[in-house]
Amino acid sequence: MTETPPVPETEAQDETLVETLQLERIEENLFRGTSPDTQPGRIFGGQVIAQSLLAAYETVETRVCHSLHCYFIRPGDPTTPIVFEVDRSRDGGSFTTRRVVAIQRGKQIFNLAASFKDAEEGFRHQAPMPPGPHWRDLPDQREVLAELMKDAPEEAKRWLKRPMPIEMRSQDARTYWMSGPKDPVAQNWFRCSTPIGDDAHMHQVILAYASDMNLLSTAMRPHGVHWQTPGFQSASLDHAMWFHQPTDFNQWHLYVHDSPSASDGRGLIRGSIYAEDGTLVASVAQEGLMRMRPK
- Residues of 257-275 as b/e, b for ≥16 C-beta within 10 angstroms? bbbeebeeeebbbbbbbbb
Q: What is the CATH number of the domain that holds 22?
A: 2.40.160.210
6: in domain? no
Task: State pLDDT tens for residues 225-271.
Answer: 887 788 999 999 999 999 999 999 999 999 999 999 999 999 999 99
The answer to whether residue 258 is catalytic is no
pLDDT the model gives residue 1? 58
Spatial strand order of the sheet with 82-91 comes to 24-27, 30-33, 82-91, 95-104, 107-117, 64-72, 232-243, 280-292, 266-275, 253-263, 185-192, 166-170
pLDDT the model gives residue 10? 35
Given a cut of 50, the residues of the chain with pLDDT beneath it are 4-13
Residue tagged active-site, from 104, 259, 272, 286: 286
pLDDT the model gives residue 242? 98
126: in domain? no
The pTM of this model reads: 0.90
CA distance 59 to 10: 35
1: in domain? no
CA distance 176 to 193: 22
Structural domain total, the chain = 1
The answer to whether residue 91 is catalytic is no
pLDDT the model gives residue 12? 37
104: in domain? yes
23: in domain? yes
pLDDT the model gives residue 171? 82
pLDDT the model gives residue 178? 64
2: in domain? no
pLDDT the model gives residue 143? 73
The answer to whether residue 286 is catalytic is yes
4: in domain? no
Residue tagged active-site, from 104, 115, 236, 259: 236
pLDDT the model gives residue 269? 98
Residue tagged active-site, from 35, 51, 170, 212: 212
User: Which domain, by its residues, includes 284?
Assistant: 17-119+133-292
142: in domain? yes
